[in-house]
Chain A
Amino acid sequence: MLSRKFFILLFLTFALPQNAMSGYGFGSSVDNSDASSVGVSNQLLPSFKDNVSISNPSTWHNLLFSYLNTSVGVHNANFQSSSSTNFSLSSAKLVIPWKQKMAFGVSFEPFLSREVVINDTTTTSFTFNEEELLYTRLNSSSGGPSKGSLSFGYKLNDFDSIGANLNIVFGSSRYTRNLIIDNDNHLLQSRDYFSGTMVDLFYSTNRVKFKDNPIFLSASLSMPLKGINIENDSYQAFIDLNDNNYHDVNDFPDIGQALLPLNQKFNDELKISSFTFGADYEFSPRKHLQAELLLWSDKGEHNLNSSIYDGYLESKNKVSLSYIKFAQPFSRDRYNFKGSLFFQNYGVKNLENINEVGLGLGIGFNFGITGNQIDLGYKLSKRDGLYLVGNETLHSFNLGISIGDLWFVKRREI
């Protein structure tokens, strides 16, 4: 019973950091949810162990132990003279290998974040009946859908392996427009409920060699099984006379005299598909060079206009280059070092496109006979072309803890 309560709390605390892109469309997404992949700025290529990426199920069969992995993040966004810092849980994942042949996993992580506030910096004056009214506006959105995944990885032969994720998108977000007239909050609130299913397919191979060293190649294809539908509840505007941010009998109009919320359903609002291809080359023992390409697109309907800005992301391309040096198992060399560069371009519908360039650094520390690992990741990136804001600098620190054990693994398999 106790653990059940904890899981409920866990889901409630999922959140992504605020940044300007949270105001685009249905919010901003994150590329690297687990701390071990932050330093390499990619998803498919090994970053957890020398042949395992925690984000790529087709590599999980290489694990000797089951791992419970959780990551938290500290995110800082700077633009103009403003700054914001947030803490959030990045991901929680359980990976269970079986006979080094296949693997299973279950994970929860944020999918999109709509956490953003914009407001007027100046007060506007309005005169009515010789009375001067001063007003400002403050628009905010919060929350966002989460993603629960069931994963499966399978080793086809000594060279090839495959994997798949079944992703269930769920959760809600809130949108509030506040017109503040002489300290009275005039609130217009709405809530979006997300539901959808997506699938990710993975393939990895070691067949290609260069100077007798294999090149690890991996590709993934993500597509919607069922587009993400959004149910929108739009509540009638009210004056929040008691400043509790909630429409009740003490507000105007009284909740009993207000209109019922408008409920609208929008199908296939988001139809996200992506293709990722990466290559990893071990040019020296435990030293790897990696490159990954991501092509992402959203062919959703986008009929619901409940975002802070009018624009939304319709495409994204990313290239990352990284270097990683892995620790030597069962030796005094217990540290993984990672460094990466990445370039990203966002295609924005209705607004200017956004470019992002970033740097990733990471360190991992192995301990214990089961290969427990603590990962620290740091990402610095700069975005150009953001609506109204212009440039934004993002700092992201991620801390991941991976506990390995013999859960569900028979001892004789080791």
Chain B
Amino acid sequence: MSRFILDAMKLLILMIFITSCSEETIIYDEIENKDSTIQTSTLPQTNSKLFQTYPQFSTRDKLFFGSIKDSENLYSLVQMTLFSGNIPPVSLVDLLADSIQVDSAMVFFQTEDSLSTGFDLGLFSITTENDSVFSDSLNFYNQGDFVDFESNSFLLNQVYLSPEDFTPDSTGLDTVKIMFTEEDGSLSSLKEYFLDSDTYPARTFMLKNTGSTLDELFSLESNESVNGPKMRVWYKAIIDEQTTLDTFITFFSQKDINVFSPPAINDEDFNYISLNSGSGLRSIIEFDLNLLDTLSRNELFKNSNVVLDLEDSNLLEDDEFYVIISAIQDSVQNWNFTSPFIETSEGGEDSSSEIETSYTIDPNFIVSRKIEDNQVRIPIQAFLQGYKNGLFQHNELMIYSAPVNSPFDKVNLNLNAIEVMYVEP
């Protein structure tokens, strides 16, 4: 029996060795032609919607000043820390103690920008009785929901920023300093309207152009930057009759926000696919996908694009603008213009369902493309294939401005075509 196994194994090893040789293929020619190998079509648009959602200030960590591209930067709010980082921590109000003699203070900002014309930068203190006066949701359209910053503020000091203060094309940072001293009386204002956080707990600065209109964009580093706003206070602390401590402490910003008036939504925008992240202007297009129901399960979409022509924009020559197209999770019920800031219901019936102002993006399909040569072509074959496979339920696509775009940039696009190509192996 053992000899049988031995012989069998030898044979099998031999066979396996021989049969492990590679195998060639024969190539025959000319497969019968099939009409449906590659086909193309154009999907008709059946509906479109312009709507406004909450503005998106982009991902830029700046506080902006100036009026550009039909936008005006109104003001910036910067809330400072209540305590300095020293040990033991010193609060703002501690600086008003009898044992403390404040000599001077400086609120300073850093910038990468330069200026071609000067402007007056005013530094105000928000003088409300609330400790939290703004949130991330604050924007031009809902200012009325917050305190009236213009009326509830006190001008602490202002500085004229001239072009000479900044070094053009510098890779480093320039500093904007606002000094507070006894001599000009500004220090007492700072102590009364800002350091006294018991009376004015907001500890929030408002920065605003107090002079003539600035027709260019100037920015300061915001709290998101490592070079964000700071306030340094020099003071003497009387320890005992023989000892006086002469020192300074620094307060840092803990949150800030820039409020600006974005390009206005005008009548012409309703004729186009209008996009502007500063005003939250977006569009949704609906198109006829009945073609997909007629296709076999093995049709594959490729080279299929939504083609949008640039009709109008405030883009400058070197500006880049990215357009995002995405699937949405809920179907559009109201194809009229909607906005979270405009009361569309008039007490009529079904008013509750009409106020649909935001649409949830389906993360399974989000594509971004840059406008080039006054046109943007956005591939949507993944959406079409997903719709055909049941991954997407709605034949609508939302089009909006990418977060990397300037919030001041606005484009009006015209839907040229939705061209699709599909193949079957």
Q: Which residues of A contact B (CB under 8 A)?
A: 2-3, 6-7, 9-10, 13, 15, 18-20, 23, 68, 70, 72, 77, 79, 82, 84-89, 92, 115-121, 126, 128-129, 131, 133, 135, 137, 139-140, 177-179, 181, 186-188, 236-239, 252-253, 257-259, 262, 388-389, 401, 403, 405, 407
Contact = CB atoms under 8 A, between A and B. Distances in A.
B266 to A, nearest CB: 33
B38 interface: yes
Given A179-B423, A236-B297, A388-B29, A72 B18 contact: yes
Interface string B374-389: 0000000110011001
B23 interface: yes
Contacts of A116: 25-26, 28
Nearest to B12: A6
11 contacts: A2-B9, A9-B16, A68-B7, A77-B26, A115-B23, A129-B303, A181-B302, A188-B424, A236-B297, A258-B389, A407-B4
B383 to A, nearest CB: 11
A120 B385 contact: no
Interface string B31-53: 10000011010000000000000
A16 to B, nearest CB: 11
Contacts of B297: 236, 259, 262
Contacts of B7: 68, 403, 405
Nearest to B5: A3
**Which of B12, B21, B305 has most A Cβ within 10 Å?**
B12
B19 A187 contact: no
Contacts of A253: 382, 385-386, 389
Contact of A186 (B21, B26, B300, B305): B300
Contacts of A15: 19, 23
Contact of B25 (A140, A252, A407): A140
B4 A405 contact: yes
Nearest to B377: A129
Given A84-B25, A87-B21, A3 B8 contact: yes
A258 to B, nearest CB: 7
B4 A82 contact: no
Given A9-B16, A84-B24, A84-B25, 11 more contacts: A87-B18, A116-B25, A118-B27, A118-B28, A118-B31, A186-B300, A237-B300, A238-B300, A239-B300, A253-B386, A405-B4
Contact of B424 (A3, A118, A237): A237
A142 to B, nearest CB: 9
B108 to A, nearest CB: 51
A181 B28 CA distance: 19
Contact of B19 (A88, A117, A237): A88
Contacts of B419: 128-129
Contacts of A84: 24-26
Contact of A257 (B29, B299, B303, B389): B389
Contacts of B15: 10, 13, 70, 72, 89, 92
Contacts of A187: 425
Contacts of B386: 253, 257
B30 interface: yes
Interface size class of B (residues with CB under 8 A): 35 or more
Kindly list the 5 A-B residue pairs having the minimum CB-CB distance in the complex, ordered from nearest. Answer: A118-B28, A237-B298, A188-B425, A13-B19, A179-B425
A176 to B, nearest CB: 9
A129 B9 CA distance: 63
Q: Pick from B5, B12, B28, B421 the residue with the most CB of A within 10 Å.
A: B28
Contacts of B31: 118-120, 137, 139
B29 A135 contact: no
Nearest to A399: B18
Interface in B249-279: none
Contact of A3 (B9, B14, B299): B9
A85 B3 CA distance: 35
Contact of B37 (A2, A137, A252): A137
A72 B28 contact: no
Contacts of A237: 298-300, 424-425
A77 B30 CA distance: 19
Given A20-B28, A116-B28, A405-B7, A87 B23 contact: yes
B13 interface: yes
B170 interface: no
A181 B421 CA distance: 12
Contacts of A389: 28
Contacts of B38: 126, 128, 133, 135, 181
B19 A259 contact: no
Nearest to A184: B302
Contacts of B381: 252
Interface in B88-133: none
